[in-house]
Amino acid sequence: MKILTIFSHPDDETMLTGGTLALLSQAGAEMFYLCATRGEGGELGEPPVCGREQIGDFRERELACAVEALGGGWVGFLGHVDPLVSENGDLHPYTDDFDGVVVQIAAKIGQIQPGAVITHGSNGEYGHPGHILTHNAVCQAVESIEETAPLLYTFCADFPNHPRPRHANPNNPAHIVLDIGPAMPQKEKAAYCHRSQNALFVRRRSKRAGYQLTVPEILLNVESLHRAYPSVNAAPEDEIIDLLSPFSKK
């Protein structure tokens, strides 16, 4: 089975759903990764790994490293430029050409012909407008394909007692909750690949804890998926669920 993961920035694939992707790879799925931007607006690292002009190239290499750690696969980019965070901390979408993104994604789906697509949740995890843009564009692209449309799943689905509610998508109830313990070594290795973002990964939770945490200490060992298309009320039965059912916590 071919699985195409579509996300906004390098590191989203690891930090938001890396264990799930590693488990799917271990189960024999053929993995494809499509990133909207090269993360040009992201942090430079502490200490900086490069200058602002080089960060896109650097993060492209980081993504390639992370994908290899998660089990390997094809990596591609839509070519949009990730905008800088505003001085007041505001985040921004990577383009105002929504229809253009839909066309790009539909073309990639037609080219790859995956059995399933996995992308951001409808709330953008923590409300990131770039994540929301990607989610909406992927949904429209998939639905436009109609009869031959792949399954569509979104990550960071919500479930009772979610250990990281800030990153859960409250409008996307989980259809499967996964114990990704068997894939934690791969997820940890992939997270360290994103060296320019490691300080960002630990900053918020270190401040909350009152002491410096390490990257492995902030990685979730549980992940979840919501099936967005075709929509279902009850637990779905499909090839994704079959591949992941050995790791289900429900």
Query: Residues 44-71: pLDDT tens digits?
Result: 999 999 999 999 999 999 999 999 999 9
Backbone angles phi, psi at 121, to 5 degrees: -80, 165
Residue type, 29: A
As a whole number of angstroms, the distance between CA 88 and CA 42 comes to 15
C-alpha dist (Å) from residue 139 to 22, 228, 235, 246 = 23, 8, 20, 28
Check whether 246 has a pLDDT greater than 90. yes
Burial 161-174, CB ≥16 within 10 A → b, else e: ebeeeebbbeebeb
- Sign, CA dihedral 64-77-85-166, equals negative
- Sign, CA dihedral 38-149-152-118, equals negative
pLDDT, tens digit (0-9, with 9 covering 90-100), for 130-184? 999 999 999 999 999 988 899 999 999 999 999 999 999 999 999 999 999 999 9
- Sign, CA dihedral 36-38-40-44, equals positive
First to last CA, the chain: 24
In the chain the beta strands, taken as DSSP E runs, fall at 2-7, 30-37, 74-80, 116-119, 151-155, 157-158, 169-173, 176-179, 222-229
CATH superfamily for 2-247 is: LmbE-like (3.40.50.10320)
151-155/157-158 β-pairing: unpaired
**Structure tokens, 185:** 């070594």
Nearest partner of 201 among 62, 60, 22, 26, judged by Cα? 62
Tell me the three-class secondary structure of 165-214, residue by residue: HHHCEEEEECCEEEECHHHHHHHHHHHHHCHHHHHHHHHHHHHHHCCCCC
Q: What is the pLDDT of residue 57?
A: 98
Nearest partner of 227 among 185, 172, 159, judged by Cα? 172
Check whether 250 has a pLDDT greater than 70. no
Mean pLDDT rounded to a whole number for the chain: 96
Residue type, 48: P
Least confident of 80-89, 148-157, 180-189, 194-203: 80-89
Yes or no: say if 108 and 138 are a contact pair by the CB < 8 Å rule: no
Q: What is the pLDDT of residue 192?
A: 98
CA angle 175, 102, 230 (to 5 degrees): 30
Q: Name the residue ranges covered by the structural domains of the chain.
A: 2-247
